[in-house]
A = this chain, B = another copy of it.
Amino acid sequence: MNLDGFLYPSSIAIIGASRREGSLGRVFFDKLVNYGYTGKIWPVNPQAADINGIPCYPSIEDLPGTPDLGVIMVRKDLAVEAAELCGKKGIRNIIMITAGFREVGGEGIKREKELMKVVRRFGMKLVGPNCMGIINTDPQVSMNASFSPIDPFRGNVAFLSQSGALGVAVLEMSKSLRLGFSVFISEGNKADLVDHHFLDYLATHNNTRVITLYMESIEDTAKFRKSASRLGRQKPVIALKAGTSEGGAKAASSHTGALASPARATSALFKQCGIIRAETVEDMFNFALAFSNQPTPGGNRVAIITNAGGPAILATDAVEKFDLKMASLSDKTKNQLQTFLPEEASVDNPVDMIASANEKTYQKTLVTILKDPGVDAVFVIIVRPPVNTTPQMIAREFGEVLSGERPGKPVFIVLMAEKDENCGLTLFQELRLPVYAYPEAAVNSLAAMLHYEQWRKKSLGRIIKINADRAGLKHIFEAARAEKREYLAIQEVLNILYAYGFPMAKGKVIQSTAEAVTFLREVSGPVAMKIESEDIIHKSDSGCVQINLQEPEQIAAAYDKIMENALRVTTPDRISGMFVQEMIIGEHELALGMKRDSNYGPIIMFGMGGIFIEIFNDTSFRIAPLTDKDAREMIQDIRGFSVLKGFRGQSGANLEIIEEALLKLSQLALDFPQIFELDLNPFIVAPDRKNCKIVDARMRINLKK
């Protein structure tokens, strides 16, 4: 979608501009003017002839032309009308600053609906409502159409924020890090334009190299995923997702539902589309600094240069924590370092040049280390030297080296000093060397770069279409809905799962001992038997389950016993039969499941049964649709994977059939939006396909769909 009308307008109407100092209408107007907007500014205000010399127009109709962009900041009760007038005037792009819409509930929800009707009627595009505006630092347009009290530095980081206030805070705090922005878009309520529209646009925005994103909700997970993963192949997308507390998820009724927390769903989605997840605003800054300034690291071998031992030890600890590697310096490198470093220095990694190191020492050491082919990235730690030099002088010296050909390796500065005028921060940033206050932040940022590169290089996999007789299954859902049955009967569940070719253990609902005996002969092995009745939920506790039945006599006895127990709890008309099923003895128990989330859509879960899930919560999640790669990765993601591969000589599991089952589950979830929760548990697996069987399944549907 082309959003140039928002980012590169040649004229902007400010509907609700004001002369009154301190008012929002005035602050906005001043910002736009003072930041040096290159286009035409048309303030609309019925009570003023001009604002600060720029002529005002009494109404939208009176504008001398059709502006590319209309920014509305009138009172909430006038906002929809203003949008309508914009539509009539032919304005195609609107930023609605005004608040009092969906975010306040009640009347606001209605107001937002009306606003969207107007927007659709005129085929307009809308940013907001309830937003802070847009900034584009490109000199071609020099547009600060926002309330940000501080103008951000120009740079290559785009920033999309669902929270206006947080967005402005980020712009403000980023100044002290000298992080530069290309564009800032305050998305507000995302009533019309949402994340994926902006992501698509930024893919071709030349000034933008890195995208940062603060989000509280996802409007259309499928489209978001598509846009984010397409964009991610070219440019890194760093996102901070707020609102991942468990709260709601705890109320879920199914196994999968209880485990599929918003936090885990977010990680799953981000993993699938290669988004670099920031856990905090600070992470977001740190990562953006790295991606914004540094070349792609070729590997994970890290060298550390320092003038103080302590911080280098902390950096080394962090290197291990973030799964990077301390580089082994070559003899050539060490020999060269020895020619100019003092005797007390360490020429091993970390290279401790000791406190006497001056700017020349730093420069020569950096140049030497960068040449070592065994080094992929360098951390330069600077503790303010007691004498001899300043960080500023070191920065200047680095400038002379780096002004020519840039090394193809990332260099991170860790400056453990107060950020005063001779700390060199500005110089370092001009050299595009990111500056961190703490070694851990720098190391974590390199790790983020490496993870991103790994994702970028590997295939996303493909979605395998599973053919199932969908039309033939519809009546099952319709019947359940008509009868208001939230949980489907076992035979219904089985029929659905058979249609998708899930490897189900053989089982059927029978009505007599004779039928059971026939079934026993068919499966030629022991069977289990349990009552089928909506009234009996906890079947074992009610004595309504018998296992390991091998002989016809056992079957008969079990049938009578179960029926006797069942009739203590319910009446014959409430019993729909007896479920008999072959007994499966396998090596390992798995649990697969799906939960439909209002925000994320179907969340697919995978884990191993027993203590793996119950005690260690050893599960993995992905959002449907799954690609074959997603399915494979979610099996590999759990710690119990080593057991499934065959742990210490014990036999493992057939991984192929598990992968297939996950793909089928994904397809089933997409085919039938009525399915709200589905547990396939236990799925008993062994090395041979034929010994892998799903033994129980439970499906809950949404009666409203």
Contacts and interface: CB of A to CB of B under 8 A. Distances in A.
A103 B355 CA distance: 13
A639 B309 CA distance: 37
Contacts of A243: 313, 316-317
B314 A281 contact: yes
Interface in A157-177: 161-169, 172-173, 175-176
A244 interface: yes
A538 interface: no
A216 to B, nearest CB: 6
Contacts of A355: 165
A491 interface: no
B246 A320 contact: yes
Contacts of A175: 418
Contacts of A554: none
Interface in A170-229: 172-173, 175-176, 214, 216
Copies of this chain, count: 2
Contact of A163 (B163, B309, B419, B618): B309
Contacts of A313: 163, 216, 242-243
A416 interface: yes
A309 B164 CA distance: 9
A313 B242 CA distance: 6
A150 interface: yes
Given A383-B169, A387-B22, A614-B647, A150 B314 contact: no
Contacts of A24: 386-387
A310 B615 contact: no
Interface string A278-318: 01111000000000000000000000000111110110110
B386 A173 contact: no
Interface residues of A, number: 74
Contacts of A642: 615
Contacts of A46: none
A104 interface: yes
A149 interface: yes
Nearest to A147: B386
Nearest to A172: B418
Contact of A280 (B162, B168, B314): B314
Contacts of A164: 308
Given A242-B314, A310-B163, A311-B166, A344 B104 contact: yes
B614 A648 contact: yes
Interface in A225-270: 240, 242-247
Given A216-B313, A344-B104, A616-B616, A169 B387 contact: no
A280 B438 contact: yes
30 contacts: A24-B387, A27-B386, A27-B387, A99-B344, A104-B344, A150-B418, A162-B310, A163-B308, A164-B308, A165-B308, A165-B355, A168-B384, A175-B418, A176-B418, A176-B419, A214-B310, A216-B313, A242-B314, A242-B317, A244-B317, A245-B320, A280-B314, A281-B314, A281-B416, A282-B438, A282-B440, A611-B612, A611-B640, A611-B643, A615-B643
Closest 3 pairs (CB-CB, A-B): A163-B310, A165-B308, A166-B310
Given A23-B387, A165-B309, A165-B383, 12 more contacts: A22-B387, A100-B344, A162-B310, A163-B310, A165-B311, A168-B384, A168-B386, A242-B313, A242-B314, A244-B317, A246-B320, A282-B440
Interface of A: 22-24, 27, 99-100, 103-104, 147, 149-150, 161-169, 172-173, 175-176, 214, 216, 240, 242-247, 279-282, 307-311, 313-314, 316-317, 319-320, 343-344, 355, 383-384, 386-387, 416-419, 437-438, 440, 611-612, 614-616, 618, 639-640, 642-643, 647-648
